[in-house]
């Protein structure tokens, strides 16, 4: 039977934080009486949850606004909202004069969505709620599709002011969420059958700053570990400067904390790290990676690298290339520098031409492909624990999951295995994934 409830279509741009914000938006819209729609054409409300961290995501948003604008011409009753970082930055400028966009809300004003929807329907058009840095993290019911793995926000905003980054201007200063709220959300997830949580924040390692309780990130991890039903704990992102020996100790001791860390290096050149305002040298970073590998030998380390930062000369680039080769990351998110509004890097000398940035990006990409493929090959013949979380859409009777080290594994298997931890033997590998065979004694376990 077709539901006659109103529908909202949500389109998300950017990182996990934004994906998670969209789950909060969906939960709040459900409370306001809206079902999620898979297609924009069926919706009465369209929400674009924007990202401005890279120029590309910003450009994509602009083209989507144009696309949905033509839908609005056909259906003038359609309500369009823009949330996220671009909304925070642009505020009422986004409304423009053409009445294409009806409401704008920043990441800190998500909890005000029911009120915003009310105002849109009563006042007509043009509601702007960007929130302020005083708005604390407000708990909201999430609408999560996947009943196996969940993101849990533990902090929001950032005090680091890296010179290329818009986050401190869009998401504001760092605010941590009280630990009892986090624990009770995770207990609720466990009782709903979720097996894995990923703790989210721009800099989870500095969790606890500013809270009235005395709690830090290692303590928070220790409080989550005993929650029955949760089998795996992950977190993202850690700032290398704040990666403490205590956190490494907690990761080594707590059996549910997975052997994976995302530790953005950004550049191998100390000169560039300094102009980026990263707060560490390459040597300091390298020592932390050595320490964590020493304590947790099976750990997989991923990173972010920016090439073509203003002032990056050939020698700086070679240092980054040598760092990537020397450390041997399991995977890399590679970006070329793009100018972002309000950031300090905008006014630096020595902006590089795009073709040079692309050339450098491709050089590292090629190198990293070889490193990741080699690391993946080293899994062949070994067994690994996999949490299966979905079907493999490219293979009939195929299922997909992840190892504790965050590698994607495909296997042949019954869909009843989805949601379970199983042992597989890795039989082949590629740059992007592993292929496993379920171990007999694991299937029936």
Q: Name the site residues for ligand SF4 (rule: CB under 6 A).
A: 158, 160-162, 165, 167-168, 202-203, 239
Of 203 and 405, CB closest to ligand SF4: 203
Considering the complex, state which of residue 115 and residue 284 has its C-beta at the smaller distance from ligand SF4: 284
Cα(341)–Cα(279) distance, integer angstroms: 22
Half-sphere exposure of 73 (CA within 13 A, CB side): 7
Question: Shortest approach of ligand SF4 to residue 205 CB, angstroms?
Answer: 10
Q: List % helix, strand, coil for the chain (3-state, nearest 5).
A: 40, 20, 40
Longest dimension (CA), the chain: 65
Can you tell me the distance from the alpha carbon of 439 to that of 442, in angstroms, rounded to the nearest whole number? 5
d(CA 167, CA 40): 29
Tell the smallest beta-carbon distance from residue 372 to ligand SF4 (Å).
Answer: 23
Residue number, 161 or 333, with CB nearest to ligand SF4? 161
Strands 398-403 and 331-336: unpaired
- DSSP β-ladder status, 434-438 and 421-429: antiparallel
38, 70, 292, 383, 406 from 299: Cα distances, Å? 38, 49, 8, 15, 10
CB nearer to ligand SF4: pick between 223 and 244: 244
* Sheet of strand 300-307: strand arrangement: 260-262, 300-307, 331-336
- Taking the complex as a whole, the smallest distance from the CB of residue 198 to ligand SF4 amounts, in Å, to 17
Q: For the residues of 312-333, what is the DSSP string, one character each? A: --HHHHHHHHHHHHHHT-SEEE
Instruction: Closer to ligand SF4 by CB, 162 or 364: give it.
Output: 162
Three-class SS of residue 133? coil
| 3-class DSSP state of 198 | strand
Ranges of H-type helices in 176-269: 179-191, 217-224, 245-253
Q: Least separation, in Å, of the C-beta of 431 and ligand SF4?
A: 26
In the complex, the smallest distance separating the C-beta of residue 388 from ligand SF4, rounded to whole angstroms, is: 32
Closer CB to ligand SF4, 179 or 205, in the complex: 205
Q: In angstroms, give the least distance from the CB of 240 to ligand SF4.
A: 10
Instruction: Compute the least distance from the CB of residue 375 to ligand SF4, in Å.
Output: 25
* In the complex, minimum distance from the CB of residue 202 to ligand SF4, in angstroms, rounded to a whole number: 4
């Amino acid at each position: 039977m077709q539901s006659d409830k109103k529908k909202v279509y949500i389109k998300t741009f950017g990182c996990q934080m934004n994906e998670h914000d969209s789950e909060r938006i969906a939960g709040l819209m459900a409370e306001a009486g809206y079902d999620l729609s898979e297609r924009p054409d069926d919706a009465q409300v369209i929400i674009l949850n924007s990202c401005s961290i890279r120029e590309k995501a910003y450009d994509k948003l602009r083209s989507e606004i144009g696309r949905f604008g033509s839908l609005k011409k056909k259906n003038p009753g359609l309500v369009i909202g823009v949330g996220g970082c671009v909304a925070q930055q642009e505020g009422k400028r986004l409304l423009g004069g053409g009445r294409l966009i009806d409401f704008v809300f920043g990441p800190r004003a998500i909890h005000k969505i029911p009120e915003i929807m009310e105002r849109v329907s009563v006042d007509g058009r043009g509601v702007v709620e960007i929130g302020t840095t005083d708005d604390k993290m407000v708990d909201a019911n999430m609408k999560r599709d996947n009943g196996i793995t969940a993101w849990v926000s533990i902090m929001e905003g950032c005090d680091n002011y890296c010179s290329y980054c818009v986050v401190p201007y869009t998401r504001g200063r760092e605010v941590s969420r009280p630990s009892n709220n986090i624990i009770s959300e995770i207990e609720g997830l466990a009782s709903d059958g979720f097996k894995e949580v990923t703790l989210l924040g721009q800099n989870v390692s500095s969790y606890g700053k500013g809270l009235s309780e005395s709690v830090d990130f290692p303590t928070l991890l220790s409080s989550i570990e005993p929650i029955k039903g949760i089998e795996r704990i992950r977190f993202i992102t850690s700032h290398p400067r704040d990666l403490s020996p205590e956190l490494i100790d907690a990761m080594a001791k707590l059996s549910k904390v997975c052997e994976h860390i995302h530790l953005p290096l950004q550049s191998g050149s100390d000169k560039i790290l300094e102009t980026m305002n990263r707060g560490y040298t390459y040597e300091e970073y390298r020592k932390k990676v050595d320490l964590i590998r020493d304590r947790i030998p099976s750990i997989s380390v991923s990173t972010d690298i920016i090439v073509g930062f203003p002032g990056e000369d050939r020698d700086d680039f070679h240092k980054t290339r040598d760092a990537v080769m020397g450390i041997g990351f399991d995977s890399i998110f590679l970006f070329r520098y793009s100018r972002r509004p309000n950031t300090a890097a905008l006014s630096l000398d020595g902006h590089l031409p795009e073709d040079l940035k692309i050339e450098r990006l491709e050089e590292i990409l090629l190198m990293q492909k070889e490193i990741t493929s080699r690391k993946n090959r080293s899994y062949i013949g070994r067994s690994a624990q996999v949490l299966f979380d979905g079907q493999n859409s490219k293979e009939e009777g195929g299922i997909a999951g992840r190892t504790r080290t965050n590698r994607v594994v495909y296997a042949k298997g019954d869909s009843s295995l989805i949601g379970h931890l199983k042992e597989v033997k890795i039989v082949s590998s590629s740059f992007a994934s592993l292929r496993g065979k379920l171990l007999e004694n694991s299937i029936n376990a």
